[in-house]
Structure 1
Amino acid sequence: MQLRQEVSAWRPRVAGVVEVFHARFTAHAYPMHVHDEWTLLIVDDGAVRYDLDRHRRGTPGGTVSLLPPQVAHNGSAATSHGFRKRVVYLDTTVLDERYIGAAVDGPDLADSVLRRRVGQLHRVLTSPGDELEAESRLALIGERLRALLRPGVELPGARTEPPGADPRHAIAGSLRELLDERVVAGVSLQEAAALIQAHPAHLVRSFSAAFGIAPHQYLTSRRVALGRRLLLDGRPAAEVAIEAGFHDQSHFTRHFKRLVGTTPGRYACRIHGSV
């Protein structure tokens, strides 16, 4: 099968929107990773399967997938011809953290109104100069999401807290805070164990059990996310590699391609409308 990759990414001048990402992949599999933002995803062709909080999920036709921030997930094509998707990454001004638990329990939303509104938002976001319309459509999307997720209504078996919130995972939480503080500088496992006062192996097991992702995978995904933001700022890939905490550009390129589906250079060449 011939591999096909088409990627377009940009940051519009719309409050609440961190990035817009359009992609067509025939054979690309995302490893486990996290985002700092909400991932609002629609698939226009094919289908995507993914694991979220240790549950297999998918994107059947007509759904909108909402993946919460800081919750590990992966992704791959569920059809032989791949998939074509449109993603908008939203910060917590659009949807706050109270909705994370509900989104973990039900990330794939079969709602025709929401699907139509997300499609309309993408149409507007491809036309610089229509910021007011984009903000208006985004406001309606946020309202619809809040109505669908309804965090105040407890469904049978529904989660009320995001993964890792259990107090039994205090060690894992401490390690995540340390990794967040040292995204660029990094930290060795031995140093982390000494700071948190836990055995290194126990640290790794606790973190993986709490968040569904290994500590090194978490740190790498945070660094790639930082790299994406710097590339959207128009920074050259060679500089971004070092500023995002990678040893060199080849190291950055290898991990970026695994997590984004294209190289930093190709990603940067397809950016438009950046600020």
Structure 2
Amino acid sequence: MAQRITIALPGQHDWVQRASSVRDVERIEAFFGGHGYDMHRHATYAIGRTLAGVQSFHYRRSMTHSMPGGTLVLHPDEPHDGSAGTDAGFRYRMLYIEPSLIQRVLGGRPLPFIAGGLSADPRLLAASDVLLRSLDDLAPLEEEDAIFDLAQALAAAAGAPRGRQAVDYRAAELARSYLLDRLECTVTLDELELVSGRDRWRLSRDFRVLYGTSPYRYLTMRRLERVRRLVVAGQSLAQAALWAGFTDQSHMTRHFTRAYGLSPGRWLRALRGLPDPAPTLQDRTR
């Protein structure tokens, strides 16, 4: 059963509705009347569509404007923000999908990249429709089929990468599994080299090609996901930070804010439907 949470955001009419499946696919629907979120980046694909209005965001040194009818495809680890392009605000639906799920279909091909963050490809629009048409639960087999179709459509829309070099998918998967088993530990490239049997620099290159980010960033984002799960389950931010492998709460907070565009405290207040505290005199004079 998907978990659906409505989040009241600081803007007068802003809202987010979130539905998480039991897999690694997170789906949201949201409305923002003005500024949505600061620059941040995910270790997942962010794939979605604008349902109403104009959705404007900075992406790869350009300002991009999304309107209904196309597909948003933000590559893993690419910084972006979000705001309304008009006074009417914008409404959108988005899914966040682990690159490893795409790789299970592509089997070691380079991760597809959609230039500009927008695509008018009808194959991609059709393939993403099952996952984006609503936030309702999907049957496990339906979700598996949808992920397969989405991976194939991403590859077709992106086309063949230029200057492709051979990558070692098995070695990268061994390294990724090792990272997932040791979220709370300090991991070195020496260890990843040993467990994968691949030279550290070739492994680092292959990891980026296959999963869209570096081993270190991948580990950090998985730790942040653990923090979010622990906090939702009732753990304090300080305890969650330690259990997820961060040095302390401030260490975790720095990474959290860079990754999600808001602090863990603000994220938690929004999740609970609580307003932001009134700004202090010091805040007003900054």
Q: Same fold (TM over 0.5)?
A: yes
1:87 aligns with 2:89: no
2:66 is matched with which residue? Answer: 60
Distance 1:13 1:223 in 2: 18
Q: CA deviation at 1:150?
A: 8.7
Distance 1:268 1:223 in 2: 17
| Deviation digits for residues 190-244 of structure 1 (CA, Å, limit 9, x no counterpart) | 3333444455444434433444422211111111122222223233211211121
Q: CA deviation at 1:22?
A: 4.2
C-alpha contact 2:175 2:192 (8 A) present in aligned 1: yes
Distance 1:155 1:232 in 2: 38
State which of 137, 142, 145 in structure 2 corresponds to 1:135. Answer: 137
Distance 1:116 1:211 in 2: 23
1:28 aligns with 2:38: yes
Distance 2:203 2:98 in 1: 29
Q: Which has the higher contact order (CA 8 A, sep 6+)?
A: 1
| Deviation digits for residues 131-190 of structure 1 (CA, Å, limit 9, x no counterpart) | xxx33799999988877x4949x959846xxx99x6534433332222122122241223
| Deviation digits for residues 85-109 of structure 1 (CA, Å, limit 9, x no counterpart) | 54345799xx995389899366856
Distance 2:146 2:193 in 1: 44
Q: Secondary structure at the match of 1:73?
A: coil
Question: Which residue identity is paired with 1:227?
Answer: V
Distance change >3 Å, CA 18–CA 116, structure 1 → 2: closer
Question: Which residue identity is paired with 2:38?
Answer: H
Q: Secondary structure at the match of 2:183?
A: coil
Question: Which residue identity is paired with 2:259?
Answer: L
* Mapping of residues 231-250 of structure 1, within 5 Å: 231-250=231-250
State which of 65, 72, 78 in structure 1 corresponds to 2:76. Answer: 72
C-alpha contact 2:38 2:262 (8 A) present in aligned 1: no
1:259 is matched with which residue? Answer: 259
* Mapping of residues 195-206 of structure 1, within 5 Å: 195-206=195-206
* Mapping of residues 1-275 of structure 1, within 5 Å: 12=19, 18=26, 20=28, 22=30, 25=35, 28-31=38-41, 33-35=42-44, 39-43=46-50, 45-48=54-57, 50=59, 60-62=66-68, 63-65=70-72, 72-77=76-81, 86-89=93-96, 97-98=104-105, 104=112, 108=118, 110=120, 121=134, 134-135=136-137, 149=150, 151=152, 158=159, 168-272=168-272
Distance 1:40 1:255 in 2: 23
Gaps of 5+ in 1: 126-133
Distance change >3 Å, CA 19–CA 135, structure 1 → 2: closer
For normalisation by structure 2, the TM-score amounts to 0.58
Distance change >3 Å, CA 13–CA 139, structure 1 → 2: same
Distance change >3 Å, CA 171–CA 178, structure 1 → 2: same
Report the number of matched residues: 243
C-alpha contact 1:114 1:141 (8 A) present in aligned 2: no
Q: CA deviation at 1:271?
A: 1.4
Q: CA deviation at 1:247?
A: 0.9
Distance change >3 Å, CA 79–CA 239, structure 1 → 2: closer
